[in-house]
Amino acid sequence: MFAIKKHIRNSSLKFWSFNFILSNINVVSRVTVPTCSYLPKATSFMRFFSHVNSSMSRNYHQMRLIPRLSCQDPAMNALILPGSLNFWSHETVLKWFHARRFSSPSIELNTEKGVVRFRFGQEIGESGGQTKAKHVVKKFKMSKKAKLNELRLYRLKAKKKMRSPNPEVRIRYKLEKAKRREAWLIEKLRKFEVPKAPDEPHDPEILTEEEKFYLKRTGEKKKNYVPVGRRGVFGGVVLNMHLHWKKHETVKVVCKPCKPGQVHEYAAELTRLSRGIVIDIKPDNTIIFYRGKNYVQPEIMSPPNTLSKDKALEKYRYEQSLEHTSQFIEKMEKELEEYHEYLARKRKEEKS
């Protein structure tokens, strides 16, 4: 692979010349140290040798040749690497040596406007081509004073639009603000979406008409009930139903406040979570549930895939705000249409 020639010119100093020839690469790098009769001391020779070595390391052919040679023969590493690094591991030294000596990016000379400047633009990749340098964007942190000035500017712009003599500017400003709030509320409500667990196999019991009538009369007479308020159906409601079913066969679920048709949604959701049977739904939004003949109290009475009491209240507030915002958007859009119709009628009157 390579040959080493030894020449001794003086008794005090020994000089070496290396001829590196790689068979599988059409690159030949030759570094020859001439006879240095003019160097009086070994220190001067070492300075000269380090200078030759540093100039050699910046050569592109040498950059491709030496890493491959160093991986093939350990004797080559002892000749190329510095003596102070011989006690390190083979891989660690090679990684350090490659990063230190052979990872230099390309330098571009810019002479625009009569000024000479150097730019380190692209690095040389493993395949020999050039890759674009990655620009790291630093995050600019605004000061407290700058944030206050920016808020004041936004408030001034908002005041100008609110106090504009043109009604269309005022309506459009309110409409854009309401749409931004609507998008924000929808994004907030997505966090409260609970994935529904797969339904477990459940065999609903078949009740006769007489049994249903008896259970209905029993549920109406008894005073035990579970309230479903503004939070809707959450884990606490199902827990209370199981606690009532310890001593009673039936339980009333009173839904207040309840929108038209929402009581049927509550009934379906509670049936899925509690495995109870709906006996009757009254006009005053009251549902009568029967626990079943083969009822067994579960170990975990509050289902894990439901919201807590605090989360349910927070969700209700966002839903109320979204409902009012949607109504306000409809109102503003209607006002904008009426204003455009007014302008069209006014233009027709002026033309006529």
pLDDT band for 137, please (50, 70, 90 cuts).
Answer: low
Check: CB of residue 194 under 8 Å from CB of residue 306. yes
Other CB atoms within a 10 A radius of the CB of residue 91 amount to: 9
Cβ neighbourhood burial of 199 (10 Å; 0-12, 13-18, 19+)? exposed
What is the predicted pLDDT for the residue at 351? 87
Section 156-171 average pLDDT? 92
Asked if pLDDT for residue 317 goes beyond 60, the answer is yes
What is the predicted pLDDT for the residue at 111? 72
Asked if pLDDT for residue 176 goes beyond 80, the answer is yes
Question: 182 versus 27: which is more confidently predicted?
Answer: 182
Angle (deg, nearest 10), helices 262-274 and 235-244: 70
Asked if pLDDT for residue 160 goes beyond 70, the answer is yes
What is the predicted pLDDT for the residue at 166? 92
pLDDT band for 102, please (50, 70, 90 cuts).
Answer: very low
Q: What is the pLDDT of residues 201-234, one digit of tens each?
A: 666 678 888 999 999 999 999 999 999 999 999 9
Asked if pLDDT for residue 334 goes beyond 60, the answer is yes
pTM metric for this prediction:
0.55
Section 277-301 average pLDDT? 91
Mean pLDDT of the chain: 74
Q: What is the pLDDT of residues 8-19, one digit of tens each?
A: 344 444 434 444
Section 18-41 average pLDDT? 42
Q: Which structure tokens are listed for 344?
A: 């069209």
What is the predicted pLDDT for the residue at 50? 55
What is the predicted pLDDT for the residue at 291? 92
Q: What is the pLDDT of residues 252-262, one digit of tens each?
A: 999 998 888 89
What is the predicted pLDDT for the residue at 314? 95
| Phi-psi map region of 206: left, alpha, beta (phi>0 left; psi -120 to 50 alpha) | beta
What is the predicted pLDDT for the residue at 267? 94
Report the percent of the chain where pLDDT is more than 70.
59
Report the percent of the chain where pLDDT is more than 90.
43
What is the predicted pLDDT for the residue at 335? 94
N residues, the chain? 352
Check: CB of residue 40 under 8 Å from CB of residue 46. no
Q: How far apart are CA 25 and CA 69, in angstroms?
A: 11
Residues whose CB is less than 8 angstroms from the CB of residue 215 and which lie 6 or more positions away in sequence, other chains included: 207, 249, 250, 279, 288, 290
3-state secondary structure the chain: CEEEEEECCCCCCCEEEEEEECCCCCCEEEEECCCCCCCCCHHHHHHHHHHHHHHHHCCHHHHHHHHHHHHHCHHHHHHHCCHHHCCCCHHHHHHHHHHHHCCCCCEEEECHHHCCEEEECEEECCCCCEEECCCCCCCCCCCHHHHHHHHHHHHHHHHHHHCCCCHHHHHHHHHHHHHHHHHHHHHHHHHHCCCCCCCCCCCCCCCCHHHHHHHHHHHHHCCCEEEECCCCCCHHHHHHHHHHCCCCCEEEEEECCCCCCHHHHHHHHHHHHHCCEEEEECCCCEEEEECCCCCCCCCCCCCCCCCCHHHHHHHHHHHHHHHHHHHHHHHHHHHHHHHHHHHHHHHHHHHC
